[in-house]
Amino acid sequence: MASVRRRAAYHAAMLPDPDAAYLALKARDARFDGRLFVGVTSTGVYCRPVCRVRTPRFENCRFFATRAQAEAAAFRPCLKCRPEIAPGLSQMDSSRALAEHAARAIEQAVHAGDELPLPLLAARLGVTDRHLRRIFHAAHGVTPVEYLTTQRLLLAKQLLTDTAQPVTHVALASGFASLRRFNAAFRQRYRLAPTQLRREGAGRGDAAALRLAYRPPYDLEGVLGFLARRQLDGVEEVDTVTLTLRRTLAVMHQGRRLAGWVQARFVPERHEVHVAAADSLAPALGEVLRRMRQALDLDADPGEIDAVMARLPLPPRPGLRLPGALDGFEVAVRTVLGQQVTVKAARTLLARLVERFGEPLATPFPALHRLFPSPESLAAASAEAIGTLGIVRQRVGALQALAREVAAGRLALHRGAAVEPTLASLRALPGVGEWTAQLVVMRALAWPDAWPASDIGLMNALGTRDPKRVAELAEPWQPWRAYALMRLWQHVETT
């Protein structure tokens, strides 16, 4: 019976062209990392296509589009190439947007340590839970519950391998209600105990060893340059020489607010980012990793994006990325204060806001000493106190309206939120127009087709002040218009 289920799962999940998949595996082609997984029947293990072990024979390979499909077919993750660190998929990688949005919502809930009952998720998406199960299985080859279990176990596997956290802490951080359930699920899926993985895995380390992979090429100069030009003193530090980004961060995890520092260092020769975090953020490392993936756009597929960007009237920039957000509320505040002012002027206003309302934080880095103001602190502040920072009355009203909505939980600014309802909620706020709404969903929700047609920098780059003409010029760049915007911004800011 088990073999029948295995074969059925394989045939439902198998990629359409095994021959092409095997060629990618033999070449260890990093472009397919995260888009292709191979289960090896002789070992019962599934790997990334970049795995450095000896290439298995073709007849022993079973190819899958996702990790969840491989695990549903009874394969367990490789301890060497570690499928849990492979890049994921961007929001434009599937035509079945509803199923993809459900998957992102599940991933966000897992890493935040929250529960997300299927009926609640279905209601949020405006469908019945039965319909959600059907379209989810059609898109991902597994049920939402199986997908959720895979996400939890892969997060646990990464924490067990890369950190020294006690197994009990790992179980809770991965969303399991009890250590007993965690041990049972881990043994059933991976056929070894969590403590055994620690003894036999690829080396027990600490938070500094947390790894995230990306598909090459990656435009490091473009991403770090963009972030450096917008660096917020006291909160961020961008080092373009050591390819390192550091910043302070506060997250909500299982009802608790945790604050500390995070660091991301690019390792281009491995196509990886190595992430470290303060001990105070240890319970929320899964959430930190999820946010870092989005902030650095590690899930992007440059093969698809670069082909469209070749239509721009600019020299090619291989590996173009869309810098996202570690804190969606912060991005929204930055965007509001950036209305009708230069990047330099916006940085000045933001620095004043941080100094006045940001909570002090001790870190081992002299450049990092404050948290970005919380939604609660800005919502509770008087308009006069914010206005004394040189922020005009209209911006003050927009900031406080935004802060109240986020603090009350009525406005979610993360990748798991639905784009259109979020746009509608943003447009309804006083002082927030289409330009602001589009930029917020672009960076906070990682929406790759956002298009603020009235952006001055965009108009300057395209040589027109007519928004309709701007929209016409952008049609060939769909569904990656936000990447086109980033490339045009780079051109204006660096020439």
Overall number of domains in the chain: 4
Residues 6 or more apart in contact with residue 19 via CB below 8 angstroms:
none
358/462 same-domain check: no
56/111 same-domain check: no
Q: Which position has the higher pLDDT, 308 or 143? A: 308
Residue 315 lies in a domain: no
398/429 same-domain check: yes
Out of 173, 204, 235, pick the residue that ends a domain. Answer: 204
Element housing 257 (H / E)? strand 256-267
HEC-encoded secondary structure of 44-58: CEEECCCCCCCCCCH
Residue numbers of the domain that contains 466: 448-495
pTM: 0.85
Residue 274 lies in a domain: no
Burial of 485 (0-12, 13-18, 19+ CB in 10 A): buried
425/357 same-domain check: yes
Helix pair angle (328-337, 393-407), 10° resolution: 170
Q: Does the annotation mark 51 as catalytic?
A: no
Nearest alpha-carbon partner for 75 in 39, 33, 36? 39
- With a cut of 60, say whether residue 16 has pLDDT above it: no
Catalytic one of 47, 51, 61, 81 = 47
Nearest alpha-carbon partner for 223 in 322, 116, 122? 322
Task: Give tens-digit pLDDT for 90-124.
Answer: 665 543 566 777 777 777 766 565 666 677 777 76
Task: Give tens-digit pLDDT for 346-400.
Answer: 999 999 999 999 999 999 999 999 999 999 999 999 999 999 999 999 999 999 9
Residue 40 lies in a domain: yes
414/463 same-domain check: no
Residue 266 lies in a domain: no
Residue 319 lies in a domain: no
Token pair 């020294």 in the structure block, residue: 164
CATH assignment at residue 8: 3.40.10.10
Task: Give tens-digit pLDDT for 136-175.
Answer: 887 778 888 888 889 889 999 999 988 888 999 899 888 8
What pLDDT is recorded for position 112?
61
Write phi, then psi, for 272 (nearest 5 degrees).
Answer: -135, 160
346/440 same-domain check: yes
Residue 2 near residue 74 (C-beta atoms within 8 A): yes
Catalytic one of 51, 81, 455, 466 = 455
Secondary structure class of 208 (helix, strand, coil): helix
CATH assignment at residue 118: 1.10.10.60
Residue 38 near residue 66 (C-beta atoms within 8 A): no
Q: Does the annotation mark 61 as catalytic?
A: no
474/440 same-domain check: no
Out of 37, 52, 79, pick the residue that ends a domain. Answer: 79
Residue 190 near residue 153 (C-beta atoms within 8 A): yes
DSSP 345-391: HHHHHHHHHHHHHSPB---SSTTB-BPPPPHHHHHHS-HHHHHTTT-
* Distance set, CA 487 to CA 185, 301, 429, 458, 480 (Å): 45, 16, 29, 10, 11
135/35 same-domain check: no
**Integer distance in angstroms from the first to the last C-alpha of the chain?**
65
105/141 same-domain check: yes
Give the number of other CB atoms < 10 A from CB of residue 201: 16
**Per DSSP, what are the bridge partners of residue 263?**
246, 276
What pLDDT is recorded for position 412?
92
485/377 same-domain check: no
CATH assignment at residue 436: 1.10.340.30
Residue 399 lies in a domain: yes
Token pair 């059933």 in the structure block, residue: 188
Q: State the Cα–Cα distance between residues 453 and 28, nearest whole angstrom.
A: 41
Task: Give tens-digit pLDDT for 420-439.
Answer: 889 999 999 999 999 999 99
Summarize the confidence of residues 67-84 as an average pLDDT: 93
- Would the CA dihedral through 463, 465, 469, 471 be positive or negative? positive
Q: State the Cα–Cα distance between residues 35 and 299, nearest whole angstrom.
A: 10
* Cα of 392 vs its chain's centroid, Å: 33
Q: State the Cα–Cα distance between residues 258 and 349, nearest whole angstrom.
A: 26
152/182 same-domain check: yes
457/374 same-domain check: no
Q: State the Cα–Cα distance between residues 44 and 66, nearest whole angstrom.
A: 16
